[in-house]
Amino acid sequence: MTDNRVTIRRAVESDEPALLDIELTAWDASSGFPSMTEGERAGFFSDRSGPDAHLVAVLDDRVVGYIRLQDKYRFREGAGVLAVNGLAVAVDARGHGIGSALLTAVTEEAERRGARKITLHVHSSNTVARRLYERHGYQVEGTHPREFLIDGEEVDSLTLAKFL
Ligand SMILES: CC(C)(COP(=O)(O)OP(=O)(O)OC[C@H]1O[C@@H](n2cnc3c(N)ncnc32)[C@H](O)[C@@H]1OP(=O)(O)O)[C@@H](O)C(=O)NCCC(=O)NCCS
């Protein structure tokens, strides 16, 4: 069950410091890519991934998580396929259903946009996220064996998808 103090809304520019903080602390070798969160990073948003592409979870006035939803393709035949290109919850806010609430909100948004499919990638080692996606109706569409070398370990990448 999601904590009923949690609200989900579209991101705005002023969420950037909180989102950057989550980005730099939420990921580890089993979920993300250490190279992307090491060292200096100027901001969270970019030209191709601005506030409009994000829903955020707010708990007691604090931004504690985000989900990024983007068109997977930029051509007509691929219209209706959306990609979740990021989902993260602050470490100290986990286990309260916030990830689940963000996934529910993204399904509602995708349906509003007339999408027919949502797709995403997850490391096979990311058991918490895999369980969460499974509960939300995502199924494994493909396995990319030994796709990444992360901290010296070969990691399989899975493509998951949910039809709307
Ligand atoms: C995956 C992630 C977004 C889940 O966020 P969350 O807000 O903890 O999600 P929920 O509370 O909805 O569900 C988390 C699961 O962990 C369990 N859990 C319980 N206490 C927990 C805790 N203290 N910390 C983490 N998970 C906990 C929940 O019960 C739930 O298990 P279930 O799916 O078997 O019911 C979060 O762990 C995260 O940011 N991970 C790093 C980034 C990541 O892996 N993103 C996905 C990449 S594809």
Whether 26 is covered by a domain: the verdict is yes
Which residue ranges have their beta carbon within 6 Å of ligand 1? 26-27, 31, 87-89, 94-100, 122, 126, 128-129, 131-132, 135
Whether 151 is covered by a domain: the verdict is no
Instruction: Say what the pLDDT of residue 112 is.
Output: 97
Q: What share of the chain has pLDDT > 90, as a percent?
A: 90
Nearest CA owner, ligand 1 atom 30 = 95
Whether 35 is covered by a domain: the verdict is yes
Pocket of ligand 1, candidates 31, 98, 132: which has the most ligand atoms within 8 Å of its Cβ, to mutate? Answer: 132
38 CA to middle of ligand 1, Å? 22
Residue range of the domain that includes 72? 6-115
Nearest CA owner, ligand 1 atom 39 = 88
Q: Which residue, chain included where needed, has tokens 């899975």?
A: 158
Whether 159 is covered by a domain: the verdict is no
Instruction: Say what the pLDDT of residue 42 is.
Output: 79
| pLDDT tens digits for range 92-116 | 999 999 999 999 999 999 999 999 9
Which residues 6+ apart lie within 8 Å of 58 measured at CB? Answer: 6, 7, 8, 9, 64
| pLDDT tens digits for range 60-73 | 999 999 999 999 99
Q: Which residue, chain included where needed, has tokens 């070969």?
A: 154
Are 119 and 81 in contact by the 8 Å Cβ rule? The answer is yes
49 CA to middle of ligand 1, Å? 24
The more confidently predicted of residues 84 and 41 is: 84
Whether 63 is covered by a domain: the verdict is yes
Whether 96 is covered by a domain: the verdict is yes
Question: Where does the pLDDT of residue 162 fall: very low under 50, low under 70, confident under 90, or very high at 90 and above?
Answer: very high
Whether 162 is covered by a domain: the verdict is no
Whether 12 is covered by a domain: the verdict is yes
> Torsions phi, psi of 82, nearest 5?
-110, 150
Beta bridge partners of 97: none
Domain count, the chain: 1
CATH number, residue 31: 3.40.630.30
Nearest CA owner, ligand 1 atom 9 = 99
